[in-house]
Amino acid sequence: MTQIELRGIEKFFGAVQVIHNLNLAIADNEFIVLLGQSGCGKTTTLRAIAGLETIDQGDILIDGKAVQHLRAADRDIAMVFQSFSLYPHMTVFENIAFPLRATRMGSGEVDKSVREVARVLRITDLLGKKPSALSGGDMQRVAIGRALVRRPKAMLMDEPIGALDAKLREEMRAEIKRLHVKQGSTTIYVTHDQIEAMSLADRIVIMHEGFIQQVGTPDEVYSHPANLFVAQFVGSPVMNVADAAVAGKASFASVIVGDATTGFEFPSALLSKLNGHAGGQLALGIRPEGVLIRRDAADGFMAVETQIVEPLGSFDIVDLKVGSKMLRARTKSGFVSGPGEKVFARIDPTQAHFFDKASGKSLEVRL
């Protein structure tokens, strides 16, 4: 039972402020992912919670108790490092036993706990080996084992699988999820990989330049990005964002992208929901799967020309020329054979996002 709360955290490195007034409440057993580019302050936040970094302002509460003045050792949290940080001169057994022996646990109990954790992580046959003899994935299992073995109040993970190759990363991702479901402990996980974040998190915290951009479930963050940064950071392929102007027509609203001559048809309700943000300061965001294309003309579809086609196996990404802008659409594999083809496109109004260009904030238009 561990709740962690961050209240008004501020952190400076010299004159540079790396964390700005950060507030976050993490529930018991929750899997929280801090997501952002390098230098966004996510690792600093994690290290501050761990006690490896001091903070200049604010409170860190673990189970309601302020811990920002406690040393790392007194906070009873475990951490998995990106570099694994296994003790190179000790065997796997000794590595996992280290946190238990450091607190003078009896040897019988140490042995039992280590073997139990090794069994859960399926590394029993590695216990006698040195870290240098292990593969990257096994090293990470050992590092996780060392963190799990003493049943800490919370688990902190700093890009734990960032150093592994792609296939192993996917494997370990599933394993971390399996462990979390099975062991259940409050977990804070730092990554720059949005796929990792989406697949693991109960809630994602997206950070940029020391500010929290949005906190929400993977679905919320993906379907209702709070601002342009989140919209473009989460999701692959990246969301299309283009300047847009909206004009009212007889039975529909026309959304003109960039300098295109004709607009996409949207329901008239859009006009009232935009609250006067009609032209000039508006940006339209649409994920590639929200751009629908077909081969023959139909009501509401606009004729466009295909440019580059990127075949990705399970689907293709097709660039469509709309005015001078490119709109990327997701299609079935092989739907478009190559550049220069003429197809018909429309934008799915339910998947469209409108942002205020000046502030970058979402206008929360839901059609």
Partner 1 sequence: MASVALTHLDPASRAAARGWSDLTIRNMFIIPTLAFLIVFNIFPLIYSLGYSFTNFAANRSEPWQFVGLQNYRELLSDDHIWSNFVTTAKYVIVSVTGQMIVGFGLALLLNRSFPMKGLITTLLLLPMMMSAAVVGLFWQLLYSPSWGPINYVFGLGDFAWLSNPDSALYAVAITDIWMWSPFVMLLSLAGLSAVPQHLYEAAAIDRAGWWYTFTRITLPLVSPILLIALIFRTMEAFKTFDIAYTMTTQPTAELIAIRLYKQAFQQWDTGKSCALAYIVLIMVLAITNLYVKYLNKVKER
Q: In this complex, which beta carbon is closest to partner 1, that of residue 164 or of residue 329?
A: 164
- 193: Cβ contacts below 8 Å, ≥ 6 apart: 162
Choose between 95 and 240: whose C-beta lies nearer to partner 1: 95
**Cα separation of 233 and 56, whole Å?**
29
Q: Which is nearer to partner 1, 80 or 329 (CB)?
A: 80
Nearer to partner 1, 99 or 216 (CB): 99
Query: How many other CB atoms sit within 10 Å of the CB of residue 52?
Result: 16
Task: Tell me how far, at minimum, the Cβ of 354 lies from partner 1, in Å.
Answer: 45
Residue 156's H or E segment, with its range, is strand 154-158
Length of the chain: 367
DSSP 203-259: EEEEEETTEEEEEE-HHHHHHS-SBHHHHHHSSSSPPEEEEEEEEE-SSSEEEEETT
Q: What span, in angstroms and rounded, lies between the C-alpha atoms of 295 and 188?
A: 47
Residue type, 186: T
Q: Give the nearest distance from C-beta 261 to partner 1 in angstroms.
A: 58
Residue 46 CA, chain-centre distance (Å), reads 15
Residue of 156, 162, 116 lying closest to 139 (CA atoms)? 162
CB of 15 to partner 1, least distance (A): 19
Nearer to partner 1, 123 or 244 (CB): 123
- Quote the CA–CA distance of 344 and 357 in Å, as a whole number: 28
Provide, rounded to whole angstroms, the least separation between the CB of residue 84 and partner 1. 9
* Smallest separation, CB 98 to partner 1 (Å): 5
Nearest distance, CB of residue 146 and partner 1, angstroms: 7
Closer of 81 and 354 to partner 1 (Cβ): 81
Closest alpha carbon to 57 in 110, 10, 1: 10
Tokens of 33: 């992912």
Question: What element of type H or E holds 119?
Answer: helix 107-121
- Which residue ranges make up the site for partner 1 (CB under 8 A)? 50-52, 71-74, 76-79, 81, 83, 85, 87-89, 98-99, 102-103, 130, 146, 150
Q: How far is the CB of 246 from partner 1 (least distance, A)?
A: 53
CA–CA dist 207, 215 (Å, integer): 9
In angstroms, give the least distance from the CB of 83 to partner 1: 5
Instruction: Give the span between the Cα atoms of 136 and 84, in whole angstroms.
Output: 9
Cis preceding-peptide flag for 237 (omega within 30 of 0): yes
Side chain identity at residue 185, one-letter code? S
Output 13 or 87, the one with its CB closest to partner 1: 87
Q: Given the structure tokens 């996780």, which residue do they identify? A: 144
Residue closer to partner 1 by CB (options 71, 332) is 71
User: Among residues 85 and 199, whose Cβ is nearest to partner 1?
Assistant: 85
Q: Which residue's CB is nearer to partner 1, number 75 or number 330?
A: 75
Q: How far is the CB of 87 from partner 1 (least distance, A)?
A: 6
CA atoms within 13 A of residue 50's CA, in its CB half-sphere: 21
Euclidean distance between CA atoms 265 and 301, whole angstroms: 8
Shortest Cβ 99–partner 1 spacing (Å): 4
Q: How far apart are CA 196 and CA 189, in angstroms?
A: 10
